[in-house]
Chain A
Amino acid sequence: MSEGVERSLEPGGAATADAVVVTERAQSASGDERGGLLHGPAARNLGLVIALALLCVVGVVTAGDRFASIDNILTILRLAAITGVLSIGMTFVITGGGIDLSVGSVLGLASVWASTLATQTMAQDTHWIVMVFTALLVGVACGLVNGVLVAYGNVVAFIATLAMMVAARGLAEIISNRQTQRVKVQGFLDFFRDDWLGIPVLVWIFALVSAAGWVLLNRTTFGRRTLAVGGNPEAARLAGIKVKRHTMYLYALAGLTAGIGGVMMLGRTTAGTSTNGMLYELDAIAAVVVGGTLLAGGRGTIVGTVFGVLIFTTLTNVFTLNNLSISAQAIAKGVIIVGAVLLQQRVAARSRAGT
């Protein structure tokens, strides 16, 4: 009997203890708030800076000057540029509560589209900028199809964009007849091979898209709507935000970045093939998530995404310089993704209990 009584007291006791812990956390959190720097986005990005710095240290130690040279750094940035642009679009879609699996395929389709145009006779009469423009249009169009399906057709984003991923790849194969199409438009090739102020054009494009993405997400009504739609679509709808329309725009934006990526790919490799951008969507998603954007939506960071892209590209570079296999790279990437997400959950849980 007395045993029973003791047991019956347990839950009450435990509850009180919990309450005490919560209050303590709340106090320490409000302390942080006043402390400033160690809290919020700065703290989150600090982890990424440290991770990237560690990778660089590893690079310098293992590869020495081969890693720490201007040329190598530009190589890393050039490699990061295309995935980077895709990741910016992906950041918007994921922050808005969605996912886009089709960007890699759409990139391929856009590049093939542009290279096909470039090999037609009409290319000789028109400026290459028209070719670029149509490639971007193809990207936006694919994104719009995704967006309409997700927003108005109520198709789950994963499925709608999976369908686009398969279909766009197929369409690219038909257009290119599975051939590699060499682009010989000199103006186009020169533009993408050029450097401005010693920095490759591809890297400039990545930087410009990132800056534009940052402004769009953090300083405009479009960005605020994205956060609202991803954070709580029902609350956003009941506040008068046109959630469906905005969702559609987000996929169109991702499609646009895929189109830009397609053109960049064409500029870098000078060839349009239907296999361009294969599995890039996964690299983009990984970079976004590692960067600290919540996969569930409602919180996104462009700076984090850029770091995420750089971390993965630097990793690849360090491994390559040390002649490690692609398989080993893949394992390391997997570990980084899981580690970052676990860390993210900790931070999220703490901010939930505290602030």
Chain B
Amino acid sequence: MVNADRTQPGEPGVPTVPGEKPVLLEMRGIVKQFPGARALDGVELEVRAGEVHCLLGQNGAGKSTLIKVLSGAHQPDEGEILLDGRPVTIPHPVAALRLGIATMYQELDVVDGLTVAENIFLGHELSTAGFTQRGAVIRRTRELLRRLGHPGISPRREVGRLSAAGKQIVSMARALSHDARVIVMDEPSAVLDSQEVSNLFRVVRDLTQQGVAVVYISHRLEEIRQIGDRITVLKDGRTVAAGLEVAQTSTAELIRLMTGRTVEYAIPRRPEVAPDAPTLLSVAGLTVPGEFHDVSFDVRAGEVVGLAGLVGSGRSEILEAVFGARRPSAGSVEVGGRRIRSGDVSAAVAAGVGLCPEERKSQGLLLDEPVYRNITLSTFARTANAGFLDERAERRQAVAHIEALDVRPARPDRAARTLSGGNQQKVLLARWLEHGCRVLLLDEPTRGVDVGARAEIYALIARLTAAGTAVVVVSSEIDEVLGLADHVLVVSEGRVVHSGPAAQIDEHRVLDLVMEGSAA
């Protein structure tokens, strides 16, 4: 028979297993390449109608990039997206909304100066010949808010005057106003207290009962247990487990899936810090209101202290406050036994402290200036004679560092913008090497850095500590922090929840601490 190897006629286009909900959204083999890093390397995701599908993974696993692909903010380099079994393209965010895919971003994307109703219908205002139909907008807004269980919010209220939870409701109402069939929620509970979280869950359950699929991203495993149906785990831009039933998967199993590396990074072993090594950096009771509270730690010459924690836990803010880039309300920072003026970067730099910031491009580099001027940005005044620049000496210094750190291309006159992430990081490190700092603060030193440059940066940290520099490292990659540091502080929600030798704690325990600490 001709039809022998074909499927039964009459089988629906969407594969269904009896008793299961139909598959609504599928992402197959999604690849997204960024300069210097492969953010997504073949991600698979299958979401069914009416389920809460949890997306799990460590920072940098590719969750945010995946969402951006789904919402049309990024274009995948490879792979396909199927909606109702039909391939679709999502060239821009409006296309995603037309297909019924709405995204609630982690940073609340509402406009403070507009009213609730104006925010909800932003970009798709109901209008007749250019005039907004104010009445209809208000009526629809009321309807949406009632559906979300918040009839108390006035459509005419200015959004800036709502609480974070209120803003989230507005954001969700906006998603619903597009008749969304898939709603992506990126850490929706991060800004909510427990009361508000249970309300959020009620809303989510209502939505799923109406057949809406929710893609739910959270670091809080307890929440996932409460609200989730199935889980997909991402690691290093790949799907390592797809469609796990929440009820049948243990927390230990999830943590095991999320941790462990597929790529081995060589972190060189360093000798123990000499017991009589002097304390170079001493932070005591440092507090920045709203960011972190009462942080104290010491770093000795040749020692690496690591700060582990989630994005937004206050790690970067701690580094910035130590550096004087944020003004603390309490506490002190001493370098080499001398207290430095708080909130004064120049004083910190003069005392021999250097910071390689998290956002290299916006916080670290003069992108259109040549590499050599970026390297000498902290030292050109010292090199100058009576206010007149000595560019020849600057170039010489820069070239020496370019060679020592193997910055590629090895051209001091190229604009910093044209370098890859790893080489830009080396330029920043070279700046502080030239300055000759005693205390080096590194915020995400290997983010967006390829494997080769990573190993070089690790080796450089080892060399610096051997020469007696005190180093503080912040990283989202827990294994990196544990591998580099002698002593680890685990930060959660602006508090140090653990402090101890790196050798006495493992990745699972850190992840446990981070998640426990953040559970509402």
Residues of A within 8 A of B (CB): 1, 4-5, 7-8, 10-12, 14-15, 26, 33, 219-225, 227-228, 231-232, 234-242, 298-299, 351-352, 355
Chain A residues with Cβ below 8 Å from B86 are 1, 4
Chain A residues with Cβ below 8 Å from B366 are 227-228, 231-232, 235-236, 298
Stretch at the interface among B17-25, B208-216, B283-291, B355-363: B355-363
State whether the Cβ of B384 lies closer than 8 Å to any Cβ in chain A: yes
The 9 closest A-B pairs by CB, nearest first: A240-B349, A11-B75, A239-B377, A8-B87, A231-B366, A239-B378, A4-B87, A221-B381, A221-B384
Q: Please tell me if the beta carbons of B89 and A239 are within 8 angstroms of each other in the complex.
A: no
Q: Known: A8-B81, A238-B325. Is A227-B364 also a contact (CB below 8 A)?
A: no
Chain A residues with Cβ below 8 Å from B150 are none
What's the minimum C-beta distance from B35 to chain A, rounded to whole angstroms?
10
Residues of B within 8 A of A (CB): 75-78, 80-81, 86-89, 91, 323, 325, 345-346, 348-350, 355, 357, 362-369, 373, 377-378, 380-381, 384, 387-389, 413-415, 417-418, 431
Q: Please tell me if the beta carbons of A355 and B377 are within 8 angstroms of each other in the complex.
A: no
**CB-CB nearest in chain B for A5:** B87
Q: Please tell me if the beta carbons of B377 and A219 are within 8 angstroms of each other in the complex.
A: no
Chain A residues with Cβ below 8 Å from B367 are 231-232
What's the minimum C-beta distance from A231 to chain B, rounded to whole angstroms?
4
Chain A residues with Cβ below 8 Å from B369 are 227-228, 231, 298
Chain B residues with Cβ below 8 Å from A220 are 384, 387-389
| CB < 8 Å neighbour of B363 from A7, A225, A234 | A234
Counting chain B CB atoms within 10 Å of each CB, the highest count among A33, A234, A237, A240 belongs to A240
| CB < 8 Å neighbour of B377 from A15, A234, A236 | A236
State in angstroms the CA–CA spacing of A240 and B413 once bound together.
Answer: 23
| CB < 8 Å neighbour of B388 from A1, A33, A219 | A219
State in angstroms the CA–CA spacing of A33 and B384 once bound together.
Answer: 27
State in angstroms the CA–CA spacing of A4 and B349 once bound together.
Answer: 58
Chain A residues with Cβ below 8 Å from B75 are 11-12, 14-15
State in angstroms the CA–CA spacing of A64 and B89 once bound together.
Answer: 65
| CB < 8 Å neighbour of B418 from A221, A228, A355 | A355
**What would be 8 A-B contacts, judged by CB atoms less than 8 Å apart?**
A8-B81, A221-B388, A227-B366, A235-B363, A236-B377, A238-B357, A239-B377, A241-B377
Q: Known: A236-B377, A238-B325. Is A11-B91 also a contact (CB below 8 A)?
A: yes
State in angstroms the CA–CA spacing of A237 and B78 once bound together.
Answer: 41
Q: Please tell me if the beta carbons of B389 and A242 are within 8 angstroms of each other in the complex.
A: no
Chain A residues with Cβ below 8 Å from B388 are 219-221
Chain B residues with Cβ below 8 Å from A238 are 323, 325, 345, 355, 357, 363-364
State in angstroms the CA–CA spacing of A355 and B370 once bound together.
Answer: 10
Q: Please tell me if the beta carbons of A352 and B365 are within 8 angstroms of each other in the complex.
A: no
Q: Please tell me if the beta carbons of A8 and B89 are within 8 angstroms of each other in the complex.
A: yes
Q: Known: A220-B389, A238-B323, A239-B377. Is A355-B365 also a contact (CB below 8 A)?
A: no
Q: Please tell me if the beta carbons of A352 and B91 are within 8 angstroms of each other in the complex.
A: no
**CB-CB nearest in chain B for A26:** B418
What's the minimum C-beta distance from A213 to chain B, rounded to whole angstroms?
15
Chain B residues with Cβ below 8 Å from A232 are 362-363, 365-367
Chain B residues with Cβ below 8 Å from A242 are 346
Chain A residues with Cβ below 8 Å from B77 are 12, 15
Chain A residues with Cβ below 8 Å from B362 are 232, 234-235
Chain B residues with Cβ below 8 Å from A298 are 366, 368-369
